[in-house]
Structure formats: structure tokens, C-alpha cells
Amino acid sequence: MKQFFVTATDTDAGKTHVTSLLLKLAVQHKKKAAGFKPIAAGAEEAFGRLVNTDALTLIESGNTNVLYEQVNPFIFAPPIAPHIAAAQQGEHISVSKLRSAYDEFKSCGADILITEGAGGWLLPINDTELLSDWVLAEQLPVILVVGMKLGCLNHALLTMEVLAHQGVHVAGWIANQVDPQMQEYDANLATLKARLPAPFLGESPYTEHTPKLKIHRALMELFELG
Ligand SMILES: Nc1ncnc2c1ncn2[C@@H]1O[C@H](COP(=O)(O)OP(=O)(O)OP(=O)(O)O)[C@@H](O)[C@H]1O
Ligand SMILES: C[C@H](N)[C@H](N)CCCCCC(=O)O
Ligand SMILES: [Mg+2]
């Protein structure tokens, strides 16, 4: 079983976009793949319950029979910082509850399990814990999505600095072009390739049509795909 945690330089950097592409890539290569979105803020009523579009996208992109509840155990209606949303409705997210929820999710029997974070790496889940504390406890290898836009160099280097300081195994990083107007995209990508101390796994160009991933060989090796 291969397990990864997808974080990003920020909220809206493309974690769902990239996690979905990674799941689809694994499925295309005959793997059993499933996505976990433990904490989602921003939800609407559908199918007689609250649902979050990130979790639905991950369910559609994988190929196991996971239940919505297994994929997304913590869901909040307002699109705000999750620990604030949780406090508003008297819920408490914790590392220990995340551990139980992940054990339940893992029973789906996938070969490749990919967890999508929420926001960036240091996301508070309550007054004392961060989502990264759970990732550290699970010892999940991390994939960093860099949302390519002006300012991403600082965000990417800051995130990578903290990951290195915490001794996290960074499996690699993916460039995701969120800003179609970004100037000097290639020079920024070259700067990141030169400075980020982790394998470059691929890039997803900006598109308003079918999302695509330009796969680097390191990704095929990481996922053990023929
Ligand atoms: N390569 C891309 N081309 C075009 N649009 C993109 C691309 N990547 C992401 N987007 C769009 O940018 C928005 C943010 O992307 P996404 O939802 O994947 O971010 P996220 O990191 O998962 O955010 P959150 O922290 O809310 O989970 C979405 O509307 C998505 O469709
Ligand atoms: C609502 C949003 N799309 C995400 N689901 C949650 C982002 C939380 C960011 C918290 C922060 O770092 O300020
Ligand atoms: Mg998302």
C-alpha cells in the first residue's frame, strides 16, 4: 500500500485538481486508488446530506467503493478556517480522531491512498494541534503542490523549509499553473527546480477544459507505474 499526503503553498493552489489527476493516473495504470479529504470547509446540501466538492471529486477520481463518510469525516458548511467552523458548531477535530478516521478509510483496500490536506501545511485543527501533527504521526510522505503565481517562490520555499526542519519525507512537488497570466512562468519553474530539495514530479498547465498532468519520470517511479 502506498500512501501520500498532498499539501500546497496555499488554499486554492490546486490540491484537489492535482490529487484528482494523481488518482486518475493510478487508476489508468490498473491500481486501486482512493482519496481521503479528512477536513473540508465549504459544503452544500445534496443527496440528503452536507457534501463538499473536493471530497466528491476525489471519490469520482478513484475506483474503490468508499462511502462519503469514510472519505470526508469532518465537514463544515462555511468556507472558512476549519477549526473556527468546528468551534462554531461545537465540534472538536483532533489528531486522535483523525487517526481513527484514517484507519476506517484505509479499510477500502486501495493500493494507493492519497490524502488531500486543507489550506497549506500549517493548518490549525484546534487550539493546540495542526493538521501537520497528524501527518507527522502517520509518517506520510508529502507531495507539495505549488500554485504557480507571483509570490509562489516564497510560499514554496517557506513550506519546504518547514517540512525539512520537521524531518518530513517530501516525495516530491508538482507545479500547478493556477494563474494563466503569470509572467515568466518558465523562469519561475526553473528557479523552483533549482532551489526545492525534492524531486520534481510533474506539472499541470492552466486549462479551462480537461485537466492534464505532464508526468515526470520520478512520478512513475514513485507510484511504481509501468
Ligand atoms: N491547472 C489549473 N488550470 C485551471 N484551473 C485550475 C488549475 N488548478 C486549479 N484550478 C482551479 O483553481 C481553483 C482552486 O483549485 P483547487 O480547488 O484544486 O485548490 P485546493 O488547493 O484544493 O483548495 P482548498 O484549500 O480549498 O482545498 C479551482 O477552481 C480549480 O478548478
Ligand atoms: C475554505 C477553503 N477553501 C479551505 N477549505 C480552507 C482553507 C483554510 C485556510 C486557513 C488559513 O491558513 O488561513
Ligand atoms: Mg481542495
Question: pLDDT tens digit string along 87-103?
Answer: 999 999 999 999 999 99
Average pLDDT over residues 188-205: 98
What's the pLDDT band for 195 if we cut at 50, 70, 90?
A: very high
8 touches ligand 1 (CB under 6 Å): yes
Grid cell in block for residue 10: 496555499
CATH class of 2-222: alpha beta
Q: Please tell me the distance between residue 159's alpha carbon and the centre of ligand 2 in angstroms.
A: 16
Asked if 43 and 37 touch (Cβ cutoff 8 Å), the reply is no
**Angstrom distance (rounded) from CA 43 to CA 50:** 6
Is residue 198 within a helix (H) or strand (E), and if so which, with residue range?
A: none
The domain ranges of the chain are 2-222
**What integer pLDDT is reported at residue 226 of this predicted model?**
81
- The reply, when asked if residue 52 is annotated as ligand binding, is no
Distances (CA, A) of 177 to 6, 19, 66: 16, 14, 30
Residue-wise pLDDT for 17-56, tens only, equals 999 999 999 999 999 999 999 999 999 999 899 999 999 9
Residue-wise pLDDT for 104-148, tens only, equals 999 999 999 999 999 999 999 999 999 999 999 999 999 999 999
Q: Please tell me the distance between residue 11's alpha carbon and the centre of ligand 2 in angstroms.
A: 6
**Angstrom distance (rounded) from CA 183 to CA 169:** 31
pTM reported for the whole predicted model: 0.98
202 touches ligand 2 (CB under 6 Å): no
Between vectors from CA 91 to CA 89 and to CA 92, what angle results, nearest 5°? 145
**What integer pLDDT is reported at residue 47 of this predicted model?**
85
**What integer pLDDT is reported at residue 212 of this predicted model?**
97
